[in-house]
Amino acid sequence: MRVVVDQDLCGTTGQCVLTLPGTFRQREPDGVAEVCVATVPQALHVAVRLAASQCPVAAIRVIESDAGDDERASADAAPSRRNPSGMPRKTNNPEGHDGTV
């Protein structure tokens, strides 16, 4: 997920910064919000959607998917197929029967 702030719309309320100070910050000279992360960590997706929904001028746009998310999704899927213990897996078909009768 990525998130962007339309800086022409931002009303400088600072609400998003108060909600997620590690994700949003306000520029020094004018208080306009900016995003300070390239991609939003999975753990913050809900909070970022909430911040976007609470922006009084709808200046925060959430981009749900990007190439980085796709790469991470692929990487996340791979370990679930691995056996983390390194021990041989037990199977329900130890003899290798193909299921035909």
Q: What is the largest CA-CA distance in the chain?
A: 77
Q: Could you tell me which stretch among 10-18, 39-47, 74-82, 89-97 binds ligand SF4 (CB under 6 A)?
A: 10-18
Question: Which residue has 């910064």 as its token pair?
Answer: 17
Restricting to residues 60-79, name those near ligand SF4 by CB under 6 A.
60
Q: Exactly one of 3, 10, 35, 40 binds ligand SF4 (CB under 6 A); which one?
A: 10
- φ, ψ at 97 (rounded to 5°): -65, 140
DSSP element (H, E) containing 45: helix 45-54
Binding site for ligand SF4 (CB under 6 A): 5, 10-16, 33, 55-57, 59-60
